Structure 1
Amino acid sequence: MARTIAEIQDEILVEKGKQTSLNGLTDSKAAIWKLWINIVATAIWVHEKMVEKNALISRPHTLNWYREQALNFHYGMPIDTGSSNRMSLIWKEGSYQFDTSKLSETEIENAKIIKHCAVSEIDLETVLDPNKEAEEIFSDYFHNKVGVVFIKVATVKGDKISRIDVPNELFAFKEYIAKIKDAGNHVFITSDQGDVLKLHLNVYIDPLTIYIDPKDIEYYQLKSLNRDLTAKEKIRLAEYELAILTDPLNEKNGSLIVDEEEFPVVNAVREHLKNIEFNGAFVKTYLVDAIQKAEGVKIPIMTKAQTSVAKNPNDGQNPTLTDTTNIEYFIPKAGYFDMETLEVEVNYIPYTFYRDKQ
């Protein structure tokens, strides 16, 4: 912040007092040197104000700057009586800002509908190949959207991340970004429903802590085998699957014996996914580590992981799942996973290795 004229004059006078050669100057109100101090102080003040303003206007618009602006987007105009509380976007101190002077802290927070945001871009070097012809490089430049700023946004409904599904909210946000962005920059904004995720787990559990119906144990063991089944095993598994149609697996399987409402494995999965930062990577090892810490879990093994973008509500078709079992980590296209469509299939197997060694 620029200093005041008085502050600059005081600093000049302090410096003058350090110069013994100036002690003989006349100390009257009309002294010419005091006039010169005032003139110099005023000139310095004008210069500092110009530098301050230019610094504000010239602030580099980094990817983080776009993220800050997105999270600061205010939607709507909270009104109590008349239009006294109307909120507008104004140009102030070198940038566009929302005039929230007449709004309460609660109204301001409610107007900020963007709760999660990730901004990225594609580096030219990632698609540049010196062995290609110029025409091919030019084509790749546009095909891969080099020079485009990608903004993923989401809101929160209840306690869950959700896409911005009110058409006018997303339209207003796009208009806001178009107004404040740098001239010549291309910005691509998305707000999608969370990606679909389906997990298959074999979990060896402590039968003294986690409940498992004895009649279901053999079925889980057959399902967990990571090899080709023998003819006898295939027949036995088919019999179980047929029987399940009329006599389903016990719903209490996987719950704590002392609290049948608590399912440690499934809850650990859901909690881990909720704690992944927006547009952060899903890492298989981290998920297995999280399950390992759950009560009653001895050995968690992820046997299969599948994912897909969310179902398109317009075509009514179920999404085609992509097998990501052999991929250690990946980032969901929407930036997060949909907890409503999450599927976790667990084969609960009693941990009895200690008996096998006897």
Structure 2
Amino acid sequence: MARTIAEIQNEILSEKDKQSSLSGLTDSKAAIWKLWINIVATAIWVHEKIVEKNALISRPHTLNWYREQALNFHYGISLDPDSSNGISLIWKEGAYQFDTTGLTDTEIENSKIIKHCAVSEIDLETVLKPKKEIEEIFSDYFHNKVGVVFIKVATVTDDKISRIDVPNELFAFKEYIAKIKDAGNQVYITSDQGDNLKLSLNVYIDPLSIFINPKDIGYYQLKSLNRDLKPEELIKLEEYETALEAEPLDPRNGSLILKNEEFPVLNAIKDHLKNIEFNGAFVKTYLVDAIQKAEGIKIPILTKIETAWATNPSDEPKALADVTKIEYFIPNAGYFDMDLFQVEINYIPYTFYRDKQ
């Protein structure tokens, strides 16, 4: 913040008192040297005000700046300051700003359609070839180069992250970014359907707190084997699957005995996925840790992870790709579609303690 004229004058006077050669100056109110101090102090004050203003309007447009502008976007604006539309985009103090005079806090918040945003800088090849295979994040550190500002945005519908599917909303947002961005910068904006995710788990549970129908235990145990089944095991599995056509697995399997509406494993998975920040990484270890903390869970084993990049509703869904060997990855849309989320769980009673008896 620029100093006041009085502050600058006091600093000059303080420095003057340190100079013995100036001690003989007349201390009169009309002294010419006091007039010069006032003139110089005023000139310095004007200079500092100009520098301060230039610093304010010359703020570097970092990636975080683009994110702030996206989250502050108001849908349904006018470029006419005198518009009766309620919200106008005006040029003020060296930058574009929204004028929301006369609107309530609720009206202002409702006009902000961008609820989630992630901004990164990637090379042009990534934009031209967006359908490459899913990779570990580590490889991106060597791949990403300066080139294009990549903005992923999403809104919230029914308390869930979702793409901006109203055509004019995304178009208006793109026009807004085109207007405020730095000259010469290339900006690529997407808002996609959430990625598909399918998880397969073997979960050893405490049979004293989690319900499991005894008739289903054999089936779960065979399905959980991580090896080629023996001939007699294959026959037994076929018998189970035939029996399931007549009598499916008990829907209460995996629920708490005292609360059949509570499913600890499923709830832990859903809560974990919802709490991953937008455009954050899905990390296998973190998911297992979250499940391990659930009530009645002894050993959670994540056996398979399948995912598919986002497709628009009008497109054919992509086949799920096995990414079990990848420790962590970022969904292409920035989030997973919880309506398409799938999970297969083999519940197995934890009875190893008997071996020690």
Place the TM-score, normalised by the shorter chain, in its bin: 0.7 to 0.9
Between 272-281 and 96-105, the greater mean CA deviation after superposition: 96-105
**How far does the alpha carbon of each residue in 1:223-251 deviate from its partner, in whole angstroms, 9 at most, with x for none?**
11111112222122122222222311111
* Alignment match, 1:215: 215
**Secondary structure in 2 aligned to 1:245?**
helix
Question: Is 2:123–2:148's contact at 8 Å kept on the other side of the alignment?
Answer: no
Question: Is 1:56–1:95's contact at 8 Å kept on the other side of the alignment?
Answer: no
Question: Is 1:154–1:164's contact at 8 Å kept on the other side of the alignment?
Answer: yes
AA paired with 2:172? A
**Secondary structure in 2 aligned to 1:299?**
strand
Unaligned runs of 5+ in 2: 127-142
**Superposed displacement of residue 77, structure 1:** 4.9
- Residues 17 and 145 (structure 1), Cα distance of their counterparts in 2 relative to 1, 3 Å cut: closer
- Residues 145 and 173 (structure 1), Cα distance of their counterparts in 2 relative to 1, 3 Å cut: farther
5 Å-filtered alignment, 1:308-347, equals: 308-315=308-315, 317-347=316-346
**Superposed displacement of residue 106, structure 1:** 3.1
**How far does the alpha carbon of each residue in 1:300-349 deviate from its partner, in whole angstroms, 9 at most, with x for none?**
1011110002343213x332100001111111000111111111110000
* Alignment match, 2:30: 30
- Residues 151 and 222 (structure 1), Cα distance of their counterparts in 2 relative to 1, 3 Å cut: same
Write out the 4+ residue segments of structure 1 that deviate beyond 6 Å after TM superposition.
none
**Superposed displacement of residue 208, structure 1:** 0.3
Between 274-283 and 202-211, the greater mean CA deviation after superposition: 274-283
5 Å-filtered alignment, 1:119-134, equals: 119-122=119-122
* Alignment match, 1:177: 177
Question: Is 1:198–1:343's contact at 8 Å kept on the other side of the alignment?
Answer: yes
- Residues 63 and 83 (structure 1), Cα distance of their counterparts in 2 relative to 1, 3 Å cut: closer
AA paired with 2:324? T
Q: Distance in 1 between matches of 2:76 and 2:9?
A: 47
**Superposed displacement of residue 355, structure 1:** 1.7
**Superposed displacement of residue 11, structure 1:** 3.7
AA paired with 1:305? I
* Alignment match, 1:268: 268
* Alignment match, 2:202: 202
**Superposed displacement of residue 88, structure 1:** 1.7
AA paired with 1:56? L
Aligned length: 337
Question: Is 1:84–1:102's contact at 8 Å kept on the other side of the alignment?
Answer: no
**How far does the alpha carbon of each residue in 1:152-177 deviate from its partner, in whole angstroms, 9 at most, with x for none?**
11122232211111222211111111
* Alignment match, 1:54: 54
Q: Distance in 1 between matches of 2:263 and 2:69?
A: 40
Q: Distance in 1 between matches of 2:27 and 2:103?
A: 52
**Superposed displacement of residue 252, structure 1:** 0.6
Q: Distance in 2 between matches of 1:266 and 1:201?
A: 11
- Residues 265 and 287 (structure 1), Cα distance of their counterparts in 2 relative to 1, 3 Å cut: same
**How far does the alpha carbon of each residue in 1:22-61 deviate from its partner, in whole angstroms, 9 at most, with x for none?**
4554444433223212211221122112212222333222
Kindly indicate whether residue 295 of structure 2 is the aligned counterpart of residue 295 of structure 1: yes
Question: Is 1:85–1:103's contact at 8 Å kept on the other side of the alignment?
Answer: no
* Alignment match, 2:349: 350
**Secondary structure in 2 aligned to 1:298?**
strand
* Alignment match, 2:134: none
**Secondary structure in 2 aligned to 1:269?**
helix
AA paired with 2:330? I
Unaligned runs of 5+ in 1: 127-142
Q: Distance in 1 between matches of 2:100 and 2:5?
A: 31
**Superposed displacement of residue 293, structure 1:** 0.8
Q: Distance in 2 between matches of 1:326 and 1:307?
A: 12
Question: Is 1:203–1:301's contact at 8 Å kept on the other side of the alignment?
Answer: yes
**How far does the alpha carbon of each residue in 1:269-289 deviate from its partner, in whole angstroms, 9 at most, with x for none?**
011111111111111111111
AA paired with 1:329? Y
**Superposed displacement of residue 101, structure 1:** 4.1
- Residues 99 and 12 (structure 1), Cα distance of their counterparts in 2 relative to 1, 3 Å cut: farther
Identity over aligned residues, as a percent? 80
**Superposed displacement of residue 17, structure 1:** 5.0
- Residues 169 and 268 (structure 1), Cα distance of their counterparts in 2 relative to 1, 3 Å cut: same
AA paired with 1:351? Y
Q: Distance in 2 between matches of 1:347 and 1:170?
A: 42
AA paired with 1:268? A
* Alignment match, 2:12: 12
TM-score by length of 1: 0.86
- Residues 247 and 104 (structure 1), Cα distance of their counterparts in 2 relative to 1, 3 Å cut: same
- Residues 208 and 313 (structure 1), Cα distance of their counterparts in 2 relative to 1, 3 Å cut: same
Q: CA-atom RMSD, angstroms?
A: 2.5
* Alignment match, 1:87: 87
**Superposed displacement of residue 146, structure 1:** 5.6
